[in-house]
Amino acid sequence: MRRVVNLYRSSVGKKILMALSGLILFGFIVGHMTGNLKVLQGCEPAVAGDHAAGLSVASQTCAIDTYAEFLREVGYPAVPHGAALWGFRVLLLGAIGVHASAAFQLWSRARAARTQGYGTSKDISFTYASRTMRWGGVILLLYVFYHIAHFTTGQAHSDFIAGGVYHNYVVGFQSPLILLVYLVANAALCLHLFHGLWSATQTLGANHPKYNHLRRPVATLLSLVIFVGFMTPPVLVFAGVIS
């Protein structure tokens, strides 16, 4: 036990927490992205033949609305309505807390380790992405607040309908400004994952001479899949393909 406490206190222990909480968050991101792709399945009119524009939510069933409803019902009746969803939210919140506080501790340690900086210095890190992790993380955190207010609670949305995920999504992404915000946020996420995924294998000691050369390409591929997966539906909405 004493060793576990020491590991937590050590610089390596903080990195391990960083990696594990990051992997939980990555798991969520994969699920969230797959869920969003349900937008592409569009809606079925509940009343046959009613294709007119400006349908009320009640008059059509959209794949993503059904999916969102399903998420609220996971585990029911074994657990109450929404309980599993809330449990998951608490887990995510915990993961963000651990991730951010480890990041903060590592940052303040690093600051203390070099109080006098260089007059001239050149960045010779492997990638640009690694140098953006800390500020990139702060940007992502701010984005998450906005994103929740935009699509979950609705304060930042011009025409929010509770439960009308498809409606909110399509209306939201018709604005070029909002599309731009999401584009920037997803690019930041992509960069964060590009370093983070590779870095996690390094931190967790998951390296092997046979597979080491695959770590970078796999991290690149996964972060690009996330970027394309998240950005495809909004771009299609903006282009008017989805309405």
Partner 1 sequence: MDLKLKVWRQSGPDEAGGFVAYDAKEISPDMSFLEMLDVVNERILEEGGDPIAFDHDCREGICGSCGMMIDGVPHGPKSMTTVCQLHMRSFRDGDQLTLEPWRASSFPVLKDLYVDRTPFDRIIAAGGYISVRTGSADEANAEPIRKKDADAAFDAAACIGCGACVAACPNASAMLFTSAKVAHLAHLPQGQTERYTRVLDMVETHDTEGFGNCTNHGACQNACPKGISVDYIAQLNRDLFRATVTTAADPVGS
Which positions lie near partner 1, rule CB under 8 A? 3-4, 6-7, 9-12, 14-16, 106, 109-110, 112-127, 130-131, 133, 195, 198-199, 201-207, 209, 212
Q: Taking the complex as a whole, how short is the minimal distance between the CB of residue 91 and partner 1, in angstroms?
A: 22
Cα 62 to chain center, whole Å? Answer: 23
Phi and psi at residue 183, to the nearest 5°: -65, -45
Task: Confirm if 39 and 169 have CB atoms less than 8 A apart.
Answer: yes
Q: Taking the complex as a whole, how short is the minimal distance between the CB of residue 188 and partner 1, in angstroms?
A: 17
* 163 Ramachandran zone, left/alpha/beta (phi>0; psi -120 to 50): left
Task: Confirm if 241 and 44 have CB atoms less than 8 A apart.
Answer: no
Cα–Cα dist 25/3, whole Å: 27
Indicate the residue among 187 and 204 with the shorter CB distance to partner 1.
204
Indicate the residue among 137 and 164 with the shorter CB distance to partner 1.
137
Task: Confirm if 42 and 242 have CB atoms less than 8 A apart.
Answer: yes
Q: Which helix or strand (DSSP H or E) is residue 219 part of?
A: helix 212-238
Q: Taking the complex as a whole, how short is the minimal distance between the CB of residue 200 and partner 1, in angstroms?
A: 9
Indicate the residue among 39 and 129 with the shorter CB distance to partner 1.
129
> Which residue type does 98 have?
V
Phi and psi at residue 82, to the nearest 5°: 75, -5
Indicate the residue among 157 and 216 with the shorter CB distance to partner 1.
216
Indicate the residue among 176 and 209 with the shorter CB distance to partner 1.
209
Indicate the residue among 167 and 215 with the shorter CB distance to partner 1.
215
Q: Taking the complex as a whole, how short is the minimal distance between the CB of residue 86 and partner 1, in angstroms?
A: 31
Cα–Cα dist 235/208, whole Å: 40
State the sign of the Cα–Cα–Cα–Cα dihedral 78, 80, 82, 85: negative
Q: Taking the complex as a whole, how short is the minimal distance between the CB of residue 199 and partner 1, in angstroms?
A: 4
Q: Taking the complex as a whole, how short is the minimal distance between the CB of residue 56 and partner 1, in angstroms?
A: 51
